[in-house]
Amino acid sequence: MATQICALYVLPPIAIARLGGSSTPLEAYQWVESPDPRANGETAIEPAWSLRVRPDATVEPYLPDAVQFRDGGLIRPVCPFFEIHALLGDPATDPASWVSAPLTPELLAAQGFSPEDVALTIDAQNHKVSRRTDDPDLRFGTFPPVTITAAEHQPVPLKGQSPPGVADPLIPRDQPIPLGSVQVLRSLPQPLPSAAPWAAGTSPLRVDVLRFRFTPATGLMYGPKQASKPLSTPAPRAVIAPVDPERAFLSSTAGWWKGTVAPTVVPGDTYDGADGSAGPYGVVDDTCEALVTVTLGRGRSAPTARCNIFVGPPDFGPDRRPFLSLADELNDRAADGAVRSAALGVADRDAWVRDLFSRIYETVSLMNVDVWRASGAMALSGAQLRGDRIVDDHVPQPRSALGGFDALRDPVFAIPAGNPTRPLPITAHARWRHQALMDLDALRNLVAENPGLLRRLVRGPFEVEAGEDGESTSMRMPPFMRNSNAFPLTLASWQFDLLMKWVASVEAGADTVPTAAEGTLAARAEVRKQAVLDQVRRRRT
């Protein structure tokens, strides 16, 4: 039976690069349950096997002693690596029978190819201004896309330029905006698992696979010369910091400086000048989205793979997991999502609920709820209000969301007034309550003793109550946060459905208390103890 390269794919297929001014990339790390016995399921970060790029473009695996996010005042950028893999088999057979293998120079040679036959095409674009103004002439990026082969190992810069043929380009032709770079790394012979710890295990690192790295830009702002001076705006921001004069070279007549903003983009206030009356200040950043296409050989039947890279700002809380992630959003669109959720057993569903509420707590622990509540609490009326104010409650604006008259508040817990030792009483209360609910037994008791409570408290997917808008919400969970459409943030549909199924089972008395093997305090303590010992062993070796 013929065996040949039938298809290619890139791992990971989607990655987020993060801006940073340091020339040293951030090392790899992983999320783990905190080994601190005093912690209650909070996430910690732990160094993971990382790759150091040598001057000859080969990579050297190593395990860092610690994770360093800054070099002085400069943030280390996140520069993701990508591996190219192949599916081997007979093109005439069912693709499900094809076998996965890393694409290496040896595999290419066996198929009659070389690294020169592997082409990478990088199309990096920034369409923020174009989308805001509904004007395609104001996009910028790699025109044309950059193409290199797997035999070229020098970093290749990605230059952001206005589209060709534009009469008044936003980006001058002789002054492109740096959008980062791409580098193809050299392959090395893969050592035996016994020769290198990183080459062993169920998911070994490979140094023989064809790999490339994307390095984002440094996180700078650009604008017209008018933006090189302080720009006055209404409260709450009195002055927008001026663009550095050396980067104030954009055209002020191309249509972005004090231009017309399309009303169809939401949220509508995410550009400099949105809270003023004079219009946009003509400022752009050096983020981009990059589509990388990998092709082997030439012709219509040449195997092709793609991956997407999204560039964003540094992670504000890298040791905290979001309760709604990119993976959750993708799972919401998976065809087998409902089948997968239905197949979860009691123990697996309990573990999922415990993890969800841990992530919810981690999100809350990053928020100044007092500030967000002060600006984002909607005024309540009718059934949203209780008859009497919660006794001894000192939350300001008592008839607004989360106030003392809010019918969704538990009257047992009054929130005290702020004082010098407890300046953020609402924030402290929110953290305390959500930390308590990470304990599955406590959450189960709350649900069993208060039927219907979580259905009232947790907002349904994309649900918007009367009176809510992009500026204010009720205290239905999660409160005071916005979705990408500017309306209240919600769980993904599959998350909400799975949570409500768990709630229904608890209310019906069908949910069982987990055994020690499924995650009681004793079992979790044993896991943390082993994690501490493992960390000590790694540092000794």
Q: How confident is the model over 103-145, as pLDDT tens digits?
A: 999 999 999 999 999 999 999 999 999 999 999 999 999 999 9
Cross-strand partners of 85:
9, 102
Q: What does the pLDDT read at residue 518?
A: 38
* SS3 letters across 364-389: HCCCCHHHHHHHHECECCHHHECCCC
Same domain, 352 and 405: yes
What's this model's pTM, rounded to 2 decimal places? 0.87
> From the CA atom positions of the chain, what is the Rg in Å?
27
Annotate 405-432 with b (16+ C-beta within 10 A) or e (fewer): bbebbeeeebbeebeeeeeebbbbbbbe
Same domain, 400 and 471: yes
Strands 74-75, 146-149: parallel, antiparallel or unpaired by DSSP? unpaired
What is d(CA 219, CA 197) in angstroms, rounded to the nearest whole number?
36
Same domain, 296 and 206: yes
Kindly state the average pLDDT of the residues 428-432. Answer: 95
Q: Are 150 and 126 in contact (CB under 8 A)?
A: no
3 state DSSP class of 429: helix
Q: Is residue 75 very low, low, confident or very high in pLDDT (cuts 50, 70, 90)?
A: very high
Q: Are 164 and 181 in contact (CB under 8 A)?
A: no
Domain membership of residue 320 (yes or no) is: no
Domain membership of residue 7 (yes or no) is: no
CA 32 to chain centre: 17
Give the domain extent around 191: 20-28+45-220+291-312
Domain membership of residue 5 (yes or no) is: no
Same domain, 85 and 175: yes
Cross-strand partners of 88:
5, 99
Domain membership of residue 120 (yes or no) is: yes
Same domain, 199 and 302: yes
Q: What does the pLDDT read at residue 277?
A: 65
What is d(CA 258, CA 282) in angstroms, rounded to the nearest whole number?
7
Amino acid 93 reads T
Residue pLDDT, tens place only, 15-56: 999 999 999 999 999 998 877 765 555 788 999 999 999 999
Amino acid 148 reads I
Same domain, 142 and 62: yes
Domain membership of residue 102 (yes or no) is: yes
> How many domains is the chain partitioned into structurally?
3
Same domain, 234 and 88: no
Strands 221-222, 99-102: parallel, antiparallel or unpaired by DSSP? unpaired
324 burial type by CB count under 10 A (0-12 exposed, 13-18 middle, 19+ buried): buried
What is d(CA 452, CA 83) in angstroms, rounded to the nearest whole number?
48
Same domain, 440 and 358: yes
Amino acid 178 reads P
Q: In this model, does residue 344 exceed pLDDT 90? A: no
CA 246 to chain centre: 32
Domain membership of residue 104 (yes or no) is: yes
Domain membership of residue 527 (yes or no) is: no
Same domain, 173 and 121: yes
Kindly state the average pLDDT of the residues 271-300. Answer: 88
Q: What does the pLDDT read at residue 540?
A: 45
Quote the mean pLDDT of the chain.
89
Same domain, 151 and 255: no
Q: Are 78 and 17 in contact (CB under 8 A)?
A: yes
Same domain, 424 and 501: yes
Q: In this model, does residue 83 exceed pLDDT 70? A: yes
Q: Which of 431, 503, 429, 428 is nearest to 460 (CA)?
A: 503
Same domain, 308 and 264: no
What is d(CA 80, CA 312) in angstroms, rounded to the nearest whole number?
13
What is d(CA 350, CA 360) in angstroms, rounded to the nearest whole number?
15
Q: Is residue 273 very low, low, confident or very high in pLDDT (cuts 50, 70, 90)?
A: confident
Domain membership of residue 518 (yes or no) is: no
Q: In this model, does residue 539 exceed pLDDT 50? A: no
Kindly state the average pLDDT of the residues 408-416. Answer: 95
Q: What does the pLDDT read at residue 527?
A: 54
Q: In this model, does residue 376 exceed pLDDT 80? A: yes
